[in-house]
């Protein structure tokens, strides 16, 4: 996802795009019409660097192209690696849009001044708490941390009352963690925010003493399901995706949610921003407007990613518990760029 930056082609196109973005980012609770981008942008190709679920993003980009005529070159990968790639590429980066699974990767680019302001009507389509406070990226979907326990195990019949409890000696040899997952660092940040640095260090030391380390949430979930470990912290959707893959009869794990107010009751959002240096500013803004529209949110809600849509009136999968009963959306500003959490994980010997 290299090239030189070229200006947009003329005031008439900009005027057409402004109308298109207003339609795409309607403040009427996601009742947007992405087709309203019109023919002015049709035929353009935007490049999207995406750290989100590849299957779902592919479905989104195909639907966007069908509705608008704007083509998408999708480059998927680890969000942290993609953010670093954009930093290394600088103004020569071909990226028009960066779509991340967690706010810290977006914050890295935002802090460097690389993100353009999102069209106001796009921002109005989702709750303000789910997007950047300065309007540089928009929230797209949500997920929550949870504790996955082997069905019938002690971790299931007596799950932890707090994520902090997992550092206690009684969890030694029973626990699994996946500290290299980008989903785990925000949990560390929440512990930092709630308890302070010294307590966070002690918590991570306890986790290292107690837990077997896995390289992904998928592998951790499989280990819990097979009985290799009793339980571990994951994002909720890994359970549902495992259940779909294995079938209900071969799924031997149960989700438990930490109580509201606990650092483990983290609700995190994915988000997307437009790169300032991008060659197709209007088309990129149209893509963000689409992501925050009812059609895109319906694609997300019906996908196998099991994430929560953010636009009012679009319902997630029926088996998902109501998000507002599970926790509080983490403040993207408080999550920051994740560097402190990563440093603590390294100091604890949980990351190389």
Query: What is the DSSP secondary-structure string of 4-62?
Result: -----S-HHHHHHHHHHHHHHT-TTTS---GGGG-TTSTT-EEEEEE-S-HHHHHHHHH
Question: pLDDT tens, 3-31?
Answer: 322 222 222 222 233 333 333 333 334 33
Find the mean pLDDT for residues 321-331: 87
Q: Is 194 helix (H, G, I), strand (E, B) or coil?
A: helix
- Write the CA distances from 341 to 80, 146, 175, integer angstroms: 14, 19, 20
Find the mean pLDDT for residues 245-252: 97
Query: Closest by alpha carbon to 254, among 166, 162, 174, 148?
Result: 148
Residue 303, token pair as written in the block: 């996908």
Question: For the chain, how far is it from start to end, CA to CA, in angstroms?
Answer: 28
Find the mean pLDDT for residues 128-145: 95
Q: Is 265 helix (H, G, I), strand (E, B) or coil?
A: coil
Question: pLDDT tens, 286-312?
Answer: 999 999 999 999 999 999 999 999 999
- Write the CA distances from 60 to 23, 75, 94, 176, integer angstroms: 18, 14, 20, 33
What is residue 331's predicted lDDT score, i.e. its pLDDT? Answer: 85
Q: Is 287 helix (H, G, I), strand (E, B) or coil?
A: helix
Q: What is the C-alpha separation between 115 and 107, in angstroms, rounded?
A: 9
Query: Is the predicted pLDDT of residue 2 greater than 90, yes or no?
Result: no
Which of the four pLDDT bands, split at 50, 70 and 90, describes residue 34? low
What is residue 58's predicted lDDT score, i.e. its pLDDT? Answer: 97
Find the mean pLDDT for residues 115-123: 97
Find the mean pLDDT for residues 96-118: 95
Query: Closest by alpha carbon to 300, among 17, 30, 21, 23?
Result: 30
What is residue 11's predicted lDDT score, i.e. its pLDDT? Answer: 24
Query: Closest by alpha carbon to 257, among 266, 245, 269, 249?
Result: 266
What is residue 328's predicted lDDT score, i.e. its pLDDT? Answer: 80
What is the DSSP track for 71-115? EEEEEE--HHHHHHHHHHHGGG---SEEEESSHHHHHHHHHTT-B
- Contact assessment for residue 156 and residue 63, using Cβ atoms and an 8 Å cutoff: no
Residue 261, token pair as written in the block: 């107010």
Question: pLDDT tens, 183-217?
Answer: 899 999 999 999 999 999 999 999 999 999 999 99
- Contact assessment for residue 164 and residue 170, using Cβ atoms and an 8 Å cutoff: no
More confident residue, 303 or 33: 303
Find the mean pLDDT for residues 75-90: 95
Contacts of 206 (CB under 8 A, 6+ apart): 166, 167, 168, 169, 171
What is residue 33's predicted lDDT score, i.e. its pLDDT? Answer: 54
Residue 59, token pair as written in the block: 């479905």
**How many CB atoms are located within 10 Å of the residue 276 CB?**
16
Share of the chain above pLDDT 70, in %: 89
Lowest mean pLDDT among 8-12, 80-84, 139-143: 8-12
């Amino acid at each position: 996802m290299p090239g030189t930056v070229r200006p947009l082609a003329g005031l008439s196109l900009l005027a057409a795009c402004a109308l298109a973005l207003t339609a795409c980012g309607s403040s009427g609770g996601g009742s947007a019409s992405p087709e309203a981008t019109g023919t002015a942008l049709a035929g353009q190709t935007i490049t999207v660097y995406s750290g989100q679920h590849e299957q779902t993003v592919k479905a989104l980009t195909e639907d966007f192209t069908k509705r608008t005529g704007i083509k998408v070159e999708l480059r998927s990968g680890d969000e942290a690696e993609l953010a670093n790639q954009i930093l290394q590429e600088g103004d020569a980066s071909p990226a028009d849009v960066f779509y991340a699974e967690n706010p810290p990767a977006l914050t890295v680019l935002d802090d460097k001044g690389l993100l353009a302001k999102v069209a106001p009507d796009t921002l109005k389509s989702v709750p303000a708490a789910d997007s950047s406070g300065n309007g540089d990226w928009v929230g797209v979907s949500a997920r929550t941390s949870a504790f996955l326990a082997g069905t019938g195990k002690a971790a299931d019949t007596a799950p932890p009352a707090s994520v902090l409890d997992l550092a206690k000696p009684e969890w030694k040899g029973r626990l699994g963690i996946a500290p290299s997952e980008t989903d785990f660092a925000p949990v560390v940040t929440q512990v930092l925010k709630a308890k302070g640095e010294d307590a966070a260090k002690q918590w991570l030391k306890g986790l290292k003493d107690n837990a077997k380390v896995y390289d992904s949430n998928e592998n951790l979930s499989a280990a819990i399901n097979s009985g290799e470990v009793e339980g571990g912290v994951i994002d909720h959707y890994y359970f549902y995706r495992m259940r779909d893959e294995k079938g209900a009869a071969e799924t031997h794990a149960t989700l438990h949610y930490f109580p509201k107010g606990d650092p483990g009751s983290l609700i995190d959002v994915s988000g997307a921003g437009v790169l300032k240096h991008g060659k197709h500013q209007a088309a990129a803004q149209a893509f963000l407007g689409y992501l925050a529209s009812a059609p895109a949110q319906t694609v997300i809600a019906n996908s196998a990613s099991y994430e929560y849509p953010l636009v009012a009136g679009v319902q997630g999968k029926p088996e998902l518990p109501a998000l507002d009963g599970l926790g509080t959306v983490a403040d993207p500003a408080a999550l920051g760029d994740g560097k402190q959490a990563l440093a603590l994980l390294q100091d604890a010997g949980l990351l190389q």
